[in-house]
């Protein structure tokens, strides 16, 4: 049976509710993600991709609706519970400047596990695994400033994986990369998806990236207008 990792019911987000011009950034979205999916969230600028990803990742709270992650309704969690929930269940990759600039690649990956309170041996083992998985064991001790944009994003993916999350949310992870690096990153994500069964949900504008997604969800004006599944 397919394992549901994320279930969004009737999720809406309105900005400036009280004002004369409320913005309905996400409108009645239903979304069901199962383990091992590789899904692209697409849509024109301003269609609500970032807003939706923030809601699904527990960074922002919906105006209405329910978001269930691994059986937990995260809309009911208190701020600190939510932070803790994110730490253990959701991996994030942002568009750019993902990494802590004063920490090396290794330390950036290890950081999440430190927050989780993992033991030193566990951390070292996992960091080495992940550095190998992203093909950068030689860059372990480089600081983000010494890495290319593509390498930085790969480290960001490794960091997102470090906490063994239920899924990874990535908001336009390739937007700041040249097409070779973007392709490279995508290759790596696809490999992780296929070999390790890692669930990815990412937003993108890039048609070449969209072409390689297995499922494409299209947002228009905060509504799902098309779902390839």
Partner 1 sequence: MLFRLAWRNLWRNKNRTFITMASISSAVLLSVTLVSLQRGIFDNLIRNVVSFYTGYVQVHGKGYWKDQTLENCLPLTDSLLRSVQNIPGVAGVAPRLEAFSLASYGEATKGCMVVGIDPESENGVTHLKDKLISGDYLARGGSGLMVAEGLANTMGVRTGDTLVLLGQSMYGSTAAGKFVITGILRFGAPDLNQRLIYLDIGVARLMFDTGEGVTSLVVSPANESEFRALAARLQSSLTDVADVMTWEEKMPDIVQHIETDTASMYIISGVLYLLISFGIFSTLLMMLAERRREFGMLVALGMKRGILARLAVIESVLVAFLGAITGILISFPVVWYLEKHPIKAWGALRETFERLGFEAIFPTVLQADIFISQTAIVLTLALILAVYPAWHILRLNTVQAIRS
List residues binding Mg ion (CB under 5 A).
50
For residues 30 and 217, the answer to whether their CB atoms sit within 8 Å is: no
Contacts of 120 (CB under 8 A, 6+ apart): none
**Residue 224 binds to ligand ATP (criterion: CB under 6 A):** no
Q: In 3-state terms, what secondary structure has residue 213?
A: coil
Residue 22 touching ligand ATP (CB under 6 A): no
Indicate the residue among 22 and 132 with the shorter CB distance to ligand ATP.
22
Say whether residue 83 binds partner 1 (CB under 8 A): yes
Greatest Cα-to-Cα distance within the chain, rounded to the nearest angstrom: 56
Smallest CA-to-CA distance from 44 within 173, 214, 226 is with 226
Contact status: 92 vs partner 1 (CB under 8 A):
yes
Binding partner of 25, given partner 1, Mg ion, ligand ATP, none, CB within 5-8 angstroms per partner class? ligand ATP
Say how far apart CA 194 and CA 69 lie, in whole Å.
Answer: 22
Two tokens at 106? 């290794």
Comparing CB distances to partner 1, the nearer of 86 and 218 is: 86
Q: How far apart are CA 215 and CA 227, in angstroms?
A: 7
Write the CB contacts of 74 (distance below 8 Å, at least 6 apart in sequence): 58, 67, 68, 82, 85
Only one of the segments 30-38, 99-107, 119-127, 132-140 lies at the binding site for partner 1 (rule: CB under 8 A); that segment is: 99-107
Among Mg ion, partner 1, ligand ATP, none, residue 173 binds (CB under 5-8 Å by kind): none
Sign of the dihedral defined by the CA atoms of residues 85, 88, 90, 93, in that order:
positive
User: Of the listed pieces 44-52, 78-86, 103-111, 133-141, which binds ligand ATP according to CB under 6 A?
Assistant: 44-52
Site map 148..167 versus partner 1, x via CB under 8 A = -----------x---x----
Residues near partner 1 (CB under 8 A) are 50, 54, 57, 59-60, 80, 83-84, 86-88, 92, 94, 97-98, 100-103, 111-112, 114-116, 159, 163
């Amino acid at each position: 049976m397919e394992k549901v990792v994320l279930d969004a019911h009737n999720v809406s987000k309105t900005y400036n509710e009280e004002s004369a011009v409320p913005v309905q950034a996400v409108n009645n979205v239903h979304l069901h993600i199962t383990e091992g999916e590789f899904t692209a969230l697409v849509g024109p600028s301003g269609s609500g991709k970032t807003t939706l990803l923030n809601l699904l990742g527990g960074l922002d709270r919906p105006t209405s609706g329910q978001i269930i992650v691994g059986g937990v309704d995260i809309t009911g969690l208190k701020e600190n519970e939510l932070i803790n929930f994110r730490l253990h269940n959701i991996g994030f990759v942002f568009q750019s400047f993902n990494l802590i600039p004063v920490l090396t690649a290794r330390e950036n990956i290890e950081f999440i596990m430190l927050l989780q309170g993992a033991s030193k041996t566990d951390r070292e083992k996992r960091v080495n695994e992940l550095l190998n998985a992203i093909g950068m064991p030689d860059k372990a001790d480089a600081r983000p400033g010494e890495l290319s944009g593509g390498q930085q994003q790969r480290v960001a993916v490794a960091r997102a994986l470090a906490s063994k999350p239920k899924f990874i949310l990535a908001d336009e992870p390739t937007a700041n990369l040249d097409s070779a690096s973007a392709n490279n990153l995508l290759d790596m994500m696809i490999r992780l998806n296929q070999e390790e069964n890692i669930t990815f949900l990412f937003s993108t504008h890039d048609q070449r990236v969209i072409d390689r997604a297995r499922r494409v969800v299209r947002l228009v004006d905060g509504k799902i207008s098309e779902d390839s599944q």
